[in-house]
Structures are given as structure tokens and as C-alpha cells.
A and B are shown apart, each in its own frame.
Chain A
Amino acid sequence: MIVEIEIDGKLINANTGEMVIAVTDREGISVPRFCYHKKLSISASCRMCLVDVEGAPKPQPACSTPVAEGMKIHTQNEKAIASQKAVMEFLLINHPLDCPICDQGGECELQDVAIEYGSDVSRFSEGKRIVAPSDIGPLIQTDMTRCIHCTRCVRFGSEIAGIMEMGATGRGEELKIEPFLAEGITSELSGNMIDVCPVGALTSKPFRYELRSWQMSSVENIARHDLVGSNLYAQTYKGNVKRVVSGDNDAVNETWISDRDRFSYEGLTHENRLLFPQIKVEGQWKEVEWDVALDFAIKGLNNNILNSRNLAKLGGLASNTATIEELHLMQKLLREMGCENIDHRLNVKDLNNTMHLKSTIKLIELESVDHALVIGANLRLEQPMINHRLRKAQLSGANITTLNVKDFDFNYKVDSHITSPNEIANTLAGVLKTLIDKTKQEFPEYLSDVIPSEHSVTLANNLLEANNSVLILGEHLINNAQASSISNLTAEIAKLTNSSTLNLTATANSLGAQQVNFMPNSQGMNANEMLDADMRAFILLDIYPEYDFHHSAAALNALSSDDVFVISLNSFGSELVSQYSDVMLPMAAMFETSGTHMNINGKAQSFRASVGAPGEAKPAWKILKVLADLLELPSFHYENSTQVMSEVAHQSIQTHEYDASIDLSKQTVTLETIWMHSPYQSDVLLRHAKSLNASQIGQMNTASMSVTTAQSLSLNNKDTYLGVPVEIDSIMADQCVFVNSNQATNAGGSQ
């Protein structure tokens, strides 16, 4: 219902139930506040937002006063100003006046409000309170003497991060905001506390004492570490990203970003950056000018491939974190030369057995499902922003069921069904059979031998009871022996139950890669086939084999062979890359190039470069364009990446034929190792981000297995499995090991 109210003499329409502050914010009328935050619950504890409401004897807090028909509000009259000034004076009693040495100076809400409402001279001559800072981890710096007890950080923890880590202990003068546990703050979303804290009590630790906010420029950018594409601002100074803060976009990340997106920029200035073009002459690396390096690259291609028109022996592989523009130009370059060996799916064990389920639900719609079935995903760590949406759904009553190898730590209530990897397809088949049974239809052939387990029946009933459910497939399934059957079964179940689907198995910019067809057509070889095909040359885009390939040993072998010529475009130097490459071309990393990222909803988000690349490094799209020119390929006349993108937008998307068959008899393995990189190791920039990797999540390195599995492998808690410390988990499926590691894949996937 709409009501009419009057604020400062202006008639305004508002919705009943809305708080006064929401209306003034919308109307651009400024009301000072500290504890109010539009995405957090109302605490009304700071009293800074007092306004005068006609008829009310005392001034009312705008953040917790609902509007009512005919209400007359004054935000600027004598009574309002006097109360605001009084509150300000109170707040400043215990707040240190140390703005010159405080990191928040210049972007402090308290400082801003104090300038407007504070008095020049303090009437308070008693001693001020001092609170010892607590060390809450490598990401957030605390200066608790500056805390004004607004409890935004506390509410953020319990309401958004889903783990209450900060709290208000003590009372009165002794009241302190602090964590209870010695580990400090461990949430994967913890950095948002820095953004919500209105004062300098919680600030960014890596950014400490670096700069003043007004010295930096804020440039919009898009996070590319996962398939959400969170909006953020890179704050830069003299060509360096100094800090990242979140951007607002309700359809994507609301107003939060994960720590992964916030602190990855630290990697940009790591000493391992590849800064100069280098060529390998007689086994020795030589730094050279760009034209020399590019000529060298072309000569290598000519000798090994082009002179003999041996294009079947050329392969192009790219990291899925590349931009759409980079991927488009690279596939175009390869295809125009006549090469079809193109792929970005490096971490998939069997590319004939892949998951191609479509995602049919918008991120924002995830909040309103009443049931979700999450299969093979540790959502909190792997897709923090998607987990956040699902958490909201659960809090408003949705029933979330998980089908995982272990009881992962969700920050909301889930109904967890522990299932070993080789039972997943059968469990889903059981679900499908139960569902078909209810409709009294014929079973397809492949279901004839399936006997639905108790799990399956429960899962089927959950789906039937729900009106709006979503089926979510996670990354743990990519290398399941029955991956494509799982994907197809899920599609069938979705059809029967009218559920939406969300496929999280292809992360980062994989959807962008699919959009520009960065995959072989039927004449070409896929990534795994290339590794086996005795190739003569490769062009590689930002690849680090020890982390990126499922078959890392085979990849190294294929790339290192003497008669293969390898052109590597890399943002970071790496020992292995320099071992097998013949020419290394330094490329711009995230934040340093313009481009486009496509998120899980197919939303293409373009961004400009926030800073230039260091040393001689160049944006990869430019490198590829120049390579194409040197190869005398005709249609590479781009002046900027926007032109590349408009070409992509105009081209029709190739759809791939996928095998939609379901085969439950397919051989399953007796011991499946699910190898997941720690969330802060999932791409090369993250691997070089110091503070993230020092955090508790970054340090994660365990190979979890059940008691039975450990016995069958003769391992116990002190041993290692594939180089990773064993952790015996009492609630875990048998016949599998779940590795969450901050180390290189090594032997990880290659069995």
C-alpha cells in the first residue's frame, strides 16, 4: 500500500512498512547513520539517525520508524539537528581523535558525520577507553579502540556470512567487539566486514598504511575467479591495484564479494610475474624485444607446422580464466590457419564423458526456491556467492538436500545424504525411477534393473513436495566415471519435476569459452587427445600444467618432447613453463586487460583495464592480434577489445551435439580421488595472493577418507595420500578420497 508522507516539507509517496531512512535514501535526503545498513537487520543502536516526527514527543530513529499515512518528518529542523549533535558528541567521547594515523581517514563515515554535526571543541576531558586490538587473521586489521559498537560486523557475520564470529562481549564501558575463537575470522566472505565497518576499527590488512582513499582512483571491474562475475571496484594508484572493494549489482553479487575476489589483486605485484618476452636459444633463455620474440614464434610455427602444412599437429589450449576476447581471437587465429585442435577443458579426465547440463535459473531466483538438491559441491568454498543465495532460500524455509561424499560445512541447515561417487548415478536413477513410477509411465530400458534405494525415494519425495526446486551439479562430479549419465539423469529428473538446473562444473569463464566455440569440432582433437598425439607445436594461453591439467604428467610429457615447439602466453613465470616452452610472451593478468566475462546466467560483463600490465607484458588479445598479423591472416583489424567483442556478439553460437545417453552399467572405479584445489589456488593470480593463502581457508590441505578407506589403503592420520596429509573422517562415504589441497596437482588426478 502506498502512503503519502511529508519530509522536510516535500510530499513523498512511500510503501507502508518501509522505514523512514529507506525513503530518505531513495529521495536523496541525507540522514546520518552508523548502525543502519540496507542489507542487514535493523539494530537501531547508534541513534545517529534521529529525526523529528511531528506529534512524537521525542526524536525518532529514522532507521526503525516505519512510515505512516500523513507523517510529517523533519530531518533538518532544530530538534533533529540538536539530537544528532548530541549523539555525535556521545559517540566521540570514547572515539580516539587519531584520524591522521587511521587508515579509514578520508572514507570514514564517522569523520564525515563529525564534520557536519560535531563540535570543534570537546567538552569531555576525562580519560578515553582503550581496547587492545585482536589478531583476527591475515585479511582484516583491527583497531578496536576506534569501534563505535554499531554491530554491523556482528550482524554481517550472523546474517550474511552465516557464522557468527564477531560478538559484543562485556557491558557498558567494557563492551568490546571481538571474536571468541583464537582462529579469528574464518568466513569466506569476511572481507565484507571491512566494507560495512563505518569507522577504522576493521580495515584491510594487506592495504594497511598504504594510501589515503582520495589518492586512488576507483575503476569498475569484474571478478573472474568464479562463474558469478561479481562486480567490484579496483582502487588504483600510480599504475597499481592497491585495494578492491565491492560493487553493487543485485542481479549478480548484491553488495558483497568473496574474499577470493577481494584479495586476489595482491598477486599482481608478485615477483614471479613474467615481465619480458623471452626466447630459448640452444637451451638458454634470453630476454628479447617483442618483435624478436614474435618473429621467433612465427619461425617456430613455420618450421614445425606451416611449411609442411601439418596443421593437424598444432594444438591450442587456453585457461578458462581468459576473457571472451582472448579466447575468440585465439580460436580464430587457429581456425584461420586451418587448425581445429582447440580446447579449454583441461581438468576433465574423460572428455567423452562430460557434464553439459544447462543452467536454467537466474542467480537472484535461487533465493526463492523452496527446495534444492546439491550434488557434488562444497558450495561455501567453491561458489561463495551462489551459496549465499541458497542460504537465503534456506533461511526463508527452503529444504536443501545434499548428495556429497562428506558432510561439508554449510552455513545453513542441510539434509545431508553421504554418497560415494560411484553410487551417485544409481541414486539419481533410483530417483528417476521413483518419479516415473508415480506417473505410471513406461520405464526407459536403462532403468529396468534399478531398485530405488531409501535415499532415492526420499530425494524423489522431496522433489515432488516442492513447487520450485533446483538441481545443482558441482565440480566434484567433473571426473566421475559416470559424469555424463549423471548430467543426463539430472536433466530427466528436472523435466519430470519441473525443476530448474544449475551446472557449476564449468567455472570461471568456461561459458565464455563455449560461446566462442573454444572447443574442437568433429575434425579436431580435444585437450586429452592432443596430449597423446605427438604434436609438433602448441600455442598455450596462461597455462600452468601442474595445476591446470587433470592429466598433468601426460601434459608435461607431451609439452616437453624435443621436437614440439611451444609458444606460451603467460602472466606469471613458472619453472615448468620455462622447461617446455620455446618462447614465453608476457601477458596482462586480471585487472590489467579489458575484456568480457560470461557468468553462469549467460550475462556477458565487459570491463576496462584498471591498470596497465607491468614490464613489457601486453594484453593477450593484442598479442594474439599481432601474431595473426605476422602470420598474414586477413581479418584481424581490431583497434580495441570492444571491436573483438562486437564481432563475437554478431556471430552465431555453435551448438555442440552431446551424448544424451544414460548408461548405468559403465565401469565404475573402486577408489575415486576427487581432487579440489583450495579455493585460493584455483587460478594463477590467486596462487600468488599472499594474504589469502595465509588465511585459514588458504592453508587447507587435507585428503579426507573414511575409516574403511583408510584401512584399505593402510593409512592413518599421520600419513599422506598423494603428498597430502590424511584426515580420517567419521562421516564420509567409502571408496573415495576427497582432497582439498593448496598444492600442485602432482599425481593428483592422474590415475
Chain B
Amino acid sequence: MISDNAKKQIDSWIAKYPQGKQSSAVMEALKVVQAENNNQLNHDLIQAVADYLDMPGIAAAEVATFYENYNHKPVGKHIIRFCHNISCMLTGADDLISHLETKLGVKTGEVTKDGLISVKKVECLGACVGAPMFQIGDQYYENLTTDKVDEIVDGLK
């Protein structure tokens, strides 16, 4: 279930922790496995990671469902992680999210028909100072407005 290549990467993470603490590598391991499986995790993959790290499946699932960077449903090539936590909410995130949904013709959690974009609502990304904001890949986009959202999204290929 986990490819040799993925195992190699996971092993290098395990090596960073003291012996017997291999389960500390769970976040990275889940990331590695997700990257190899269409950017998506499922029950069996989570269990496989847990088995590899010798930890209970549910403990890996707790991590995998807590953090927004793990996907449990099909996602597009680009994932727009829209913050809807307190600062962003107060500065209009909800309206922007509706705008984005209408523009793309999808609801949050869904993928556009062409498979290019999906939208996810996430909790505070620590960029309140630039609220409202979202993240695509490793990039933060702050102080969003409808125009700015349109421009960024239209630029995605």
C-alpha cells in the first residue's frame, strides 16, 4: 500500500526522532503518502501509515482529520484554503467564499468539473493581520477583495 519510495521518505523522517518515537513522524508520513495518491487519503492509507509507524489506526486518523492539509475527498490541482475563522469572518470572508463558489460553480469541498480547482474552508492560518485571506499551495494571499479573488483565480492553470 505504501510505495518503496514513500517508505524511504518516511524512514528519513523517523530517523529524526528518538528511537521508539517513530509515531512522531505521522504528520510527514501522511503527507508523503497523500502526495503519492492523488493528493488524497483514505481509511486504508491511514491504517497503512499507522501500521508502518506501529501506532493505532485511530491515532493516525485523529491527526489526519485534525489538520486541513490532509484531504479525504477528491481535490483539484489547486486547493484554495479559505480561512473562515474569526478575523477573516469579521472582515468579510463569508461573502468572499460565496462569491468564489458562484464564480467556480462549486460549493466548498467540491472540485470544478475540469478538475483544476477545489475550495476548502479552513481555520485560522495565522495571518489575521492580512484578513481576509486564503492559501493556495504554499502561497498566502491576503487582504482579499472580490476583484483580487477573481484575478488570482483566473490566473490558475
Write the residues of chain A forming the contact surface with B, with a CB cutoff of 8 angstroms.
Answer: 158, 163-172, 174, 179-181
Q: B residues within 8 A CB of A181?
A: 57-58
Q: Is the CB of B59 within 8 A of A169?
A: no
Minimal beta-carbon separation of B49 from chain A (angstroms): 12
Q: Is the CB of B65 within 8 A of A164?
A: no
Minimal beta-carbon separation of B87 from chain A (angstroms): 15
Cβ of B136 < 8 Å from any Cβ of A? no
Cβ of B56 < 8 Å from any Cβ of A? yes
Q: List 14 A–B pairs whose Cβ atoms lie within 8 Å, in order of A's numbering.
A: A163-B56, A166-B58, A167-B59, A167-B61, A168-B62, A170-B66, A171-B65, A171-B67, A171-B123, A174-B65, A180-B47, A180-B56, A180-B57, A180-B58
Q: Is the CB of B62 within 8 A of A169?
A: yes
* CB nearest to A179 among chain B residues: B58
Cα distance A158–B46 in the bound complex, in angstroms: 19
Cα distance A172–B59 in the bound complex, in angstroms: 17
Minimal beta-carbon separation of A149 from chain B (angstroms): 12
Minimal beta-carbon separation of B120 from chain A (angstroms): 13
Q: Is the CB of A164 within 8 A of B59?
A: yes
A169-B65, A171-B65, A171-B66 given; A164·B58 CB < 8 A:
yes
Q: A residues within 8 A CB of B56?
A: 158, 163-165, 167, 180
Q: A residues within 8 A CB of B67?
A: 171
* CB nearest to A165 among chain B residues: B58
Q: A residues within 8 A CB of B123?
A: 171-172
Cα distance A172–B86 in the bound complex, in angstroms: 13
A-B pairs with the 9 shortest C-beta distances? A167-B58, A180-B58, A164-B56, A169-B65, A180-B57, A167-B62, A180-B61, A171-B66, A170-B65
Q: B residues within 8 A CB of A164?
A: 56, 58-59
Q: A residues within 8 A CB of B61?
A: 167, 169, 180
Cα distance A454–B154 in the bound complex, in angstroms: 71
Q: B residues within 8 A CB of A174?
A: 65
Q: B residues within 8 A CB of A158?
A: 56
* CB nearest to B67 among chain A residues: A171
Per-residue A-contact encoding for B11-53, CB less than 8 Å = 1, 0 else? 0000000000000000000000000000000010011000000
Minimal beta-carbon separation of B82 from chain A (angstroms): 15
* CB nearest to B65 among chain A residues: A169
Cα distance A172–B67 in the bound complex, in angstroms: 11
Cα distance A170–B66 in the bound complex, in angstroms: 5
**Chain B's interface: helix, strand, loop or mixed, by majority?**
helix
Q: List residues 46-90 of chain B with CB under 8 A from any CB of chain A.
A: 46-47, 56-59, 61-62, 65-67
Q: A164-B58, A167-B58, A180-B46 are in contact. List 10 more A-B contacts (CB 8 A).
A: A158-B56, A163-B56, A167-B62, A168-B62, A170-B66, A171-B65, A171-B66, A174-B65, A180-B58, A181-B57
Q: A residues within 8 A CB of B47?
A: 180
Cα distance A130–B56 in the bound complex, in angstroms: 27
Minimal beta-carbon separation of A368 from chain B (angstroms): 23
Minimal beta-carbon separation of A503 from chain B (angstroms): 34
In this complex, the member of B47, B59, B62, B123 whose beta carbon has the largest number of chain A beta carbons within 10 angstroms is B62
Cα distance A168–B66 in the bound complex, in angstroms: 9
Cα distance A158–B57 in the bound complex, in angstroms: 12
Q: B residues within 8 A CB of A169?
A: 58, 61-62, 65-66
Cα distance A171–B85 in the bound complex, in angstroms: 13
Per-residue A-contact encoding for B95-125, CB less than 8 Å = 1, 0 else? 0000000000000000000000000000100
Cα distance A370–B133 in the bound complex, in angstroms: 57
In this complex, the member of B56, B58, B123 whose beta carbon has the largest number of chain A beta carbons within 10 angstroms is B58
Cα distance A169–B67 in the bound complex, in angstroms: 10
Minimal beta-carbon separation of B44 from chain A (angstroms): 11
Minimal beta-carbon separation of B65 from chain A (angstroms): 4
Cα distance A207–B56 in the bound complex, in angstroms: 30
Minimal beta-carbon separation of A241 from chain B (angstroms): 33
Minimal beta-carbon separation of A653 from chain B (angstroms): 47
In this complex, the member of B43, B56, B123 whose beta carbon has the largest number of chain A beta carbons within 10 angstroms is B56
* CB nearest to A167 among chain B residues: B58
Q: B residues within 8 A CB of A180?
A: 43, 46-47, 56-58, 61
Minimal beta-carbon separation of A349 from chain B (angstroms): 40
* CB nearest to B60 among chain A residues: A180
* CB nearest to B85 among chain A residues: A172
Cα distance A158–B55 in the bound complex, in angstroms: 11
Cα distance A180–B46 in the bound complex, in angstroms: 10
* CB nearest to B57 among chain A residues: A180
Q: A residues within 8 A CB of B66?
A: 169-171
Minimal beta-carbon separation of B52 from chain A (angstroms): 15
* CB nearest to A163 among chain B residues: B56
Cα distance A311–B19 in the bound complex, in angstroms: 70
Minimal beta-carbon separation of A177 from chain B (angstroms): 10
Cα distance A165–B62 in the bound complex, in angstroms: 11
Q: A residues within 8 A CB of B57?
A: 180-181
